[in-house]
Amino acid sequence: MNSIIAPSMLAADFGNLQRDVDMVNNSSAEWFHMDVMDGVFVPNISYGPSVIKAMSKHTDKFIDAHLMIVNPDRYIDDYKNAGVHNLTFHYEACDHLHRSMQAIRNAGMQAGVALNPHTPVHLLEDIIQDVDLVLIMSVNPGFGGQKFIENAISKVAQTKDLIIQKNSSAKIEVDGGVNTETGKKLVNAGADVLVAGSFVFKSENPTETIDKLRNCAH
C-alpha cells in the first residue's frame, strides 16, 4: 500500500500561499500537515488557527495539525473551528495525556501524540489504544530542513510492534528530513504517513516530488 503523503505547509512560500495550497490540492498528496510553534515549547514561531482556517477554506483534503506548544489543551476548540481533522499534541507537553486525547476526540477530531527524538516509544504503552496517530519526530522540532535522525527508523518499527501487540488502529507518521531515500526505509519499518516540507516545496517540480515520495516504498 502506498503511504499517505502530507506536505508540511511550514515550508510553503507564505507570500504565495494560495498558489502552494492549490499545488497540494492538485497533487496526489492526501493530507495537509500544519506545524504550529509558539516560541516556548520550541525555539521558533510559525502560525496558528487563523492561518489554518484561511487555508482550510480552500481545500477538501484532510488537515493534520501538529502543535509544538505549551498547554495545547487550551486551543482544542480553536483548531476544531479552523477545520482541523487530526490534532496532534506532544507527549512532552501534556501532564494528563489520556485526558487530552479524550478531549480532542470529544471535539470531533482524531487525536495524535508526537514523540521528540529523545522520548522512548514504550512510554506510549498505556495510551496507544486511545490515539489515532503516533508522530515520530525524525528531527528535533522547531525548524524545517534539518538532517534526518537515523534512530527514527527503529522507533517506527518499535511503534509498529506496540500497535500490533496492543491491537491499536493508530497510524504512524514521521516528520523531519523525509525524502525518497529515508521515506523508503520508514515505510518499510511500518510508517503510514510521511510528512515532507523542504523536500517538496524546494524541489523544481513539487507535484512530481510528491508522486515520487508516494511511490518510494515500491
From CA 156, how far away is CA 168, in angstroms rounded?
A: 15
Cβ-count burial of 80 within 10 angstroms (0-12 exposed, 13-18 middle, 19+ buried)?
A: middle
From CA 102, how far away is CA 90, in angstroms rounded?
A: 14
Give yes or no for a contact between 156 and 3, defined as CB atoms under 8 angstroms apart: no
Rounded to 5 degrees, what are φ and ψ at 179? -140, -170
Number of domain units in the chain:
1
Tell me the residue range of the domain where 130 lies. 4-214
Q: How confident is the model at residue 218 (pLDDT cuts 50, 70, 90)?
A: low
Q: Residue 175 catalytic?
A: yes
From CA 66, how far away is CA 88, in angstroms rounded?
A: 5
Q: What is the pLDDT of residue 169?
A: 97
For 214, the grid coordinates are 508516494
Question: Quick one: average pLDDT of 18-45?
Answer: 94
Q: Is 90 exceeded by the pLDDT of residue 87? A: yes
Of 38, 132, 175, 192, the catalytic one is 175
CATH number at residue 147: 3.20.20.70
Q: Is 80 exceeded by the pLDDT of residue 68? A: yes
Q: Residue 13 catalytic?
A: no
Of 20, 35, 64, 192, the catalytic one is 35
Q: How confident is the model at residue 189 (pLDDT cuts 50, 70, 90)?
A: very high
Q: What is the pLDDT of residue 144?
A: 66
Give SS3 for 218: coil
The cell 493530507 sits on which residue? 31
Kindly report the CA angle at 42 between 197 and 181, in degrees rounded to 5? 30
